Amino acid sequence: MKVRIKEVAVAAGVSAATVSKVLSGRADYPVHARTAERVRRVARDLGYVPDIAARHLRTRQTGQLGVVLEAVGPSEPDSLLGGLSVSHAVRRTFDGAIMAGLSEAARELDVPALVVYPGGDLDVRSFLDGRVDGLLVSCDPLRGHALLRGLTDAPVPIVALWTQVAPAGIGVVDVDHAYGAGLAVRHLLELRHRRIAFYGGGAGSGVEHFAQREAGYRQALEHAGLTPLPAIHDGGRLLQAVRDGVTAVFAETDLGAAAAFHALHGAGLRVPADVSLVGFDDIQGAEYIAGGLTTVYHPAAEMAVAGVQSLVARLEGESPRTTLLPPRLIQRRSTAPVQGR
Amino acid sequence: MKVRIKEVAVAAGVSAATVSKVLSGRADYPVHARTAERVRRVARDLGYVPDIAARHLRTRQTGQLGVVLEAVGPSEPDSLLGGLSVSHAVRRTFDGAIMAGLSEAARELDVPALVVYPGGDLDVRSFLDGRVDGLLVSCDPLRGHALLRGLTDAPVPIVALWTQVAPAGIGVVDVDHAYGAGLAVRHLLELRHRRIAFYGGGAGSGVEHFAQREAGYRQALEHAGLTPLPAIHDGGRLLQAVRDGVTAVFAETDLGAAAAFHALHGAGLRVPADVSLVGFDDIQGAEYIAGGLTTVYHPAAEMAVAGVQSLVARLEGESPRTTLLPPRLIQRRSTAPVQGR
DNA sequence: CTGTTAGCGCCTTCAA
DNA sequence: TTGAAGGCGCTAACAG
């Protein structure tokens, strides 16, 4: 049978109230140092662990943070590809990174536990059941995020991860995709490329992050006095663009860069000798794409850390804020100075 | 202010007990259908959500499952490599897959929430605080799993993931690494390879799974009347082995396969024309290794699903059991029938 | 079929 | 500085 506070009290020769005062964690109760010491020792010897359910009921708070991983994909392997579809695998790496970041931040900030809701047909109201003091919603960047809309006036603070469009009152933490794209483009500019193509759906994809990456691309070029090219999302047109003088390609994702490389390579073009190629995300395996893909590291774990920090700050009374994390360039071997042609 | 059960009771013209009986989820209480219907409607109209803390305290159970991700790595990018170290990235993909599997299984089995402990200097006793009804421990396959040792007589059922060595009383779910290795070797045998090398640390690495993969390799060869070769974990020796007649290489991991390919490629050997190559794990990016690596898919998400199922079964009274999940072969382009030489 | 009663274990007044 | 009392919101047992 588990040890209760009453038993500790009896063993220590004090009342339950005193034990509570000593062990509740709050230091502002007046307890004699010797008494406190004795209580602590007895509690330890007896292996006393406060019952969390009773404490939650009494204090009306848990210290726990809820996590909704909207992005956690299905576990079924995609039989068409023999294994898991590649984009699923990418998603999972991000999910893993996010979990790692959440765990680490929780540890640092003394969050006792993270409550992960299994998702599915989540009812928004299930968040006001007293299980958590705040909620982190990791949005799926490829889909919308209907969840957030129902959370406008939730009874606990909410922080959205991986998006920049959230209703008022909801904090936001995201990667600065536009800045990351600028990093990639400026790297190519420094290598004296002047005709730089954007490969991917961009704004036309309807995906927030891809639109931002294209915007970052355009802005960096315009800032350099150059004219951005329309987004290309097709191998044939990419080849045409290269024939028309493009010397460098910024792909919206590493997966896109792999596809671009495939098209280029198939047409006998060499990377980086004939065309420089930069991706975005630094996915696992980027090392093996195009002989070592230069790309933009996507700080997913750092984003999760910032999310926990932001939520804890909210719990401590701060207002909702927006945090954008700067990606950084990872130089490998798919970019080189432009060659005279 | 939140709605309490009492208010629902008053609004519906019944007692709090009746409301509880209707909404507790258990169907075995005798309540008049019309009464139940009215209660449900009133509760919905009022937006009533049962207070989880009070319910936990009263029922002494939560329905929640705890998760310890021993394997969640640090979030700091490894600056030496410019990005995250590759093995960290692999780890994260597995962590993401495990979270996806856990979430999915929790959804299917009506587990209301997963409680993720942040790890760190975890005190075993923190699991008997009434937060969870059972615990899943995802072990780090590359390190030991000290945690399990302290969990021998925990007050809640425990299931260990990703290991086969656990103290008595702890259920186990793992991938069948030996079987997976057999799959790889038999694939090579069917391509008429007879001199097949094992590339990796194997039993000598001290890593449980790698030892099992080597054992599976040896067993498959012996079963075919062939003699296994000593494990090779060095590019130079691998080349020597190929010069000595080896025509196929089974690498203990996909990352190892990438290294083997690098050594082979550097020496002018072609894969699969000169040497066939098989990996293990089907990591993200395997598509790009060695021109498309044939490998063994590691069912991490499926393992997590099985873990939740196993734990829920324990909760329903079953005994601890051991579950081994069969990997399966993913054929790509790094293996070919042996060439006469 | 429904209501009354009595706690679950803890923390927080308030009085001593 | 310590202890006694009360109650957080819910559900299980029992009575009606």
Tell me what the mean pLDDT of segment B282-310 comes to: 94
Residue B239 or residue A143, greater confidence: B239
Q: Is B326 on the interface with A (CB under 8 A)?
A: no
Split at pLDDT 50, 70, 90, the class of A247 is very high
Query: What is the token pair recorded at A2?
Result: 């588990």
Q: For strand C, list residues 102-141 of chain B whose Cβ lies within 7 Å of it.
A: none
Identify the CA nearest to B210 among candidates B200, B202, B199, B219: B202
Size of interface A-B (CB pairs under 8 A): 225
CB contact under 8 A, B119 and A103: yes
CB contact under 8 A, B284 and A90: yes
Determine which of B44, B61, B75, B128 to mutate to test the interface with A (most A C-beta atoms within 10 Å): B75
Split at pLDDT 50, 70, 90, the class of B271 is very high
Range of the domain at A260: 177-298
Query: What is the token pair recorded at A11?
Result: 């063993």
Looking at residue B319, its pLDDT comes to 96
Q: Are residues B92 and B116 in the same domain?
A: yes
Split at pLDDT 50, 70, 90, the class of B95 is confident
Tell me what the mean pLDDT of segment B304-332 comes to: 97
Looking at residue A292, its pLDDT comes to 95
Looking at residue A119, its pLDDT comes to 73
For residue B301, give the nearest of A75, A104, A116 by CB distance: A75
**CA–C1' B208–D1 (A):** 57
Looking at residue A146, its pLDDT comes to 73
Is the confidence at residue A124, as pLDDT, over 80?
no
Tell me what the mean pLDDT of segment A264-274 comes to: 96
Q: How far is CA A280 from the centre of its chain?
A: 15
Is A59 among the domain residues? no
Alpha-carbon distance of B94 to B301, in angstroms, equals 8
Alpha-carbon distance of B198 to B229, in angstroms, equals 7
Is the confidence at residue A195, as pLDDT, over 50?
yes
Q: Is A24 on the interface with B (CB under 8 A)?
A: no
Q: Is A96 on the interface with B (CB under 8 A)?
A: yes
Q: Is A259 on the interface with B (CB under 8 A)?
A: no
Q: Are residues B168 and B310 in the same domain?
A: yes
**CA–C1' B131–C12 (A):** 23
Q: Which range (A31-35, B27-31, B118-122) has the least confidence? A: B118-122
Looking at residue A14, its pLDDT comes to 95
Q: Are residues B188 and B165 in the same domain?
A: no
* Whether this model's pTM surpasses 0.75: yes
* Nearest nucleotide to A22, CA against C1' atoms: C11
> Is nucleic acid strand D under 7 Å from B56's C-beta?
no
Looking at residue A308, its pLDDT comes to 98
Residue B20 to residues B8, B15, B26, B55, B62: CA-CA distances in angstroms?
A: 10, 9, 10, 10, 16
What is the edge-to-edge ordering of all strands in the sheet holding B196-199?
B196-199, B248-251, B276-278
Nucleotides of D under 7 A from a protein CB: 1-5, 7-13
Q: Are residues B284 and B199 in the same domain?
A: yes
Split at pLDDT 50, 70, 90, the class of A77 is very low
**Other CB atoms within 10 A of residue A305 CB:** 25
Q: Are residues B253 and B104 in the same domain?
A: no
Looking at residue A71, its pLDDT comes to 59
**CA–C1' B19–C4 (A):** 14
Split at pLDDT 50, 70, 90, the class of A340 is low
Nearest CA in chain B to A120: B107
Q: Are residues B168 and B216 in the same domain?
A: no
Is A94 among the domain residues? yes
Nearest CA in chain A to B154: A2
Looking at residue B139, its pLDDT comes to 87
Cα torsion angle, A203, A208, A214, A216, sign: positive
Specify the CATH number for the domain of residue A162: 3.40.50.2300
Q: Is B57 on the interface with A (CB under 8 A)?
A: yes
Q: Are residues A155 and A303 in the same domain?
A: yes
Tell me what the mean pLDDT of segment B227-256 comes to: 97
Looking at residue B124, its pLDDT comes to 67
Looking at residue B21, its pLDDT comes to 94
Is the confidence at residue A76, as pLDDT, over 50?
no
For residue B103, give the nearest of A64, A118, A299 by CB distance: A118
Residues 6+ apart with CB under 8 A from B90: A284, B254, B255, B281, B283
DSSP three-state, residue A83 = coil
Q: Are residues B190 and B251 in the same domain?
A: yes
> Is nucleic acid strand D under 7 Å from A16's C-beta?
yes
Is the confidence at residue B179, as pLDDT, over 80?
yes
Looking at residue B75, its pLDDT comes to 43
pLDDT in tens, B272-282: 999 999 999 99
Looking at residue A80, its pLDDT comes to 35
Is the confidence at residue A78, as pLDDT, over 70?
no
Alpha-carbon distance of B327 to B181, in angstroms, equals 9
Looking at residue B120, its pLDDT comes to 67
Alpha-carbon distance of A93 to A91, in angstroms, equals 5
Q: Are residues B280 and B185 in the same domain?
A: yes
Residues 6+ apart with CB under 8 A from B141: B71, B162, B163, B207, B208, B209
Alpha-carbon distance of A313 to A41, in angstroms, equals 34
pLDDT in tens, B120-176: 666 666 777 889 999 999 987 766 677 787 788 888 999 999 999 999 999 999 999
Split at pLDDT 50, 70, 90, the class of A1 is low
Is B219 among the domain residues? yes
Q: Are residues B113 and B191 in the same domain?
A: no
Is the confidence at residue A236, as pLDDT, over 70?
yes
Identify the CA nearest to B226 among candidates B193, B203, B199, B204: B193
User: A312-319: which pairs have CB atoms within 8 A and are 24 or more residues apart?
Assistant: A312/A65, A312/A109, A312/A111, A312/A134, A314/A134, A314/A157, A314/A159, A314/A171, A315/A133, A315/A134, A315/A157
pLDDT in tens, A295-322: 999 999 999 999 999 999 999 999 999 9
Is A115 among the domain residues? yes
Is B340 among the domain residues? no
Q: Which range (B26-35, B77-86, B91-100) has the least confidence? A: B77-86
Looking at residue A258, its pLDDT comes to 94
CA of A321, closest CA in chain B: separation in Å?
23
**CA–C1' B6–C1 (A):** 19
Q: Is A91 on the interface with B (CB under 8 A)?
A: yes
Q: What is the 3-state secondary structure (H, E, C) of A272-328?
A: CCCCEEECCECCCCHHHHHHCCEEEECCHHHHHHHHHHHHHHHHCCCCCCEEEECCE
Q: Are residues B75 and B156 in the same domain?
A: yes
Looking at residue B90, its pLDDT comes to 81
Residue B71 or residue B225, greater confidence: B225
Split at pLDDT 50, 70, 90, the class of B81 is very low
Q: For strand C, list residues 2-31 of chain B whose Cβ lies within 7 Å of it.
A: 13-18, 21, 29-31
Split at pLDDT 50, 70, 90, the class of A144 is low
Nearest CA in chain A to B122: A107
- Report whether A157 contacts A134 (CB < 8 A): yes
pLDDT in tens, A57-75: 999 999 999 998 875 554 4
CB contact under 8 A, A107 and B120: yes
Residue A187 to residues A193, A198, A283, A338: CA-CA distances in angstroms?
A: 9, 14, 19, 12
Identify the CA nearest to A84 among candidates B267, B281, B211: B281
Most confident of the following: A106-120, A225-239, B72-86, B148-162:
A225-239
% of chain A with per-residue pLDDT over 90: 75
Is B55 among the domain residues? no
Looking at residue A134, its pLDDT comes to 95
For residue B53, give the nearest of A53, A96, A302 by CB distance: A53
Residues 6+ apart with CB under 8 A from B27: none
Kindly report the length of chain A: 341
Residue B257 or residue A123, greater confidence: B257
For residue A54, give the nearest of B57, B89, B120 by CB distance: B57
CB contact under 8 A, B330 and A289: no
Alpha-carbon distance of B237 to B263, in angstroms, equals 10
Q: Bridge-partner residues for A137, per DSSP?
A: A68, A160
Nearest CA in chain A to B71: A100
**What are the DSSP calls for B63-77, one per residue?**
--EEEEETT----S-
CB contact under 8 A, A284 and B283: yes
φ/ψ region of A13 (left if φ > 0, alpha if ψ in -120 to 50, else beta) reads left
Q: Are residues B274 and B311 in the same domain?
A: no
Is the confidence at residue A204, as pLDDT, over 90?
yes
Looking at residue B159, its pLDDT comes to 96
Query: What is the token pair recorded at A273?
Result: 């000798």
Domain count of the fold of chain B: 3
Looking at residue A284, its pLDDT comes to 85
Is B57 among the domain residues? no
Tell me what the mean pLDDT of segment A176-204 comes to: 97
Is B262 among the domain residues? yes
Specify the CATH number for the domain of residue A38: 1.10.260
